[in-house]
């Protein structure tokens, strides 16, 4: 077991895929930089797994992507807001940086660093989309925890 150590978490802007708008984040173990070119196939796989926005299901076409360059593996985490207050998650993994991305197996999931980010996204969703009857999509996309702002890896 490795002792816990914080990792650099950074907001990287909003990425669009069809009618979806996804907040993009990076999580980095150790010194950078993050291998964005290597993550692109995983990010593409995640985006192509998005369901279609659906007003009947209260699916606003908003969500997030996490590119997590870890100690022993890399992860892409996709979350989208559904049914007003739910955040379905999907994960893609590559254990060796030259390995192809694949969907996570039953025993692979998100980790404590991803949970930190998901808590911040939960807070953003509640304050911008659930606080009143008027959902503010622009405010949600702009609502980023100040700890995650900055360009450095």
pLDDT in tens, 9-64: 999 999 999 999 999 999 999 988 999 999 999 999 999 999 987 666 678 899 99
CB atoms within 10 A of CB 106: 5
Q: Where are the domains of the chain?
A: 8-148
pLDDT of residue 134: 81
pLDDT in tens, 118-148: 999 999 999 999 998 888 999 999 999 999 9
pLDDT in tens, 65-94: 999 999 999 999 999 999 989 999 999 999
Sheet strands (E) in 1-153:
8-17, 20-28, 62-69, 74-80, 89-94, 102-103
């Amino acid at each position: 077991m490795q002792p816990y150590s914080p990792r650099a978490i950074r907001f990287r802007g909003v990425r669009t895929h069809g009618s979806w708008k996804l907040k993009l984040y990076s999580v980095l173990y150790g010194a950078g930089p993050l291998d964005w070119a290597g993550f692109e196939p995983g990010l593409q796989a995640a985006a192509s797994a998005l369901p279609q926005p659906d007003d009947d299901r209260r699916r606003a076409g908003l969500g997030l992507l996490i590119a997590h360059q870890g100690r022993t593996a890399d992860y892409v985490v996709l979350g989208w807001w559904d049914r007003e207050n739910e955040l379905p998650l999907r994960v893609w993994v590559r254990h060796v940086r030259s390995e192809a991305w694949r969907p996570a197996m039953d025993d692979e999931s998100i980790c404590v660093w991803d949970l930190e980010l998901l808590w911040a996204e939960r807070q953003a969703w509640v304050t911008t989309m659930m606080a009143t009857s008027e959902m503010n999509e622009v405010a949600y996309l702009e609502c980023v925890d100040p700890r995650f702002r900055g360009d450095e890896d």
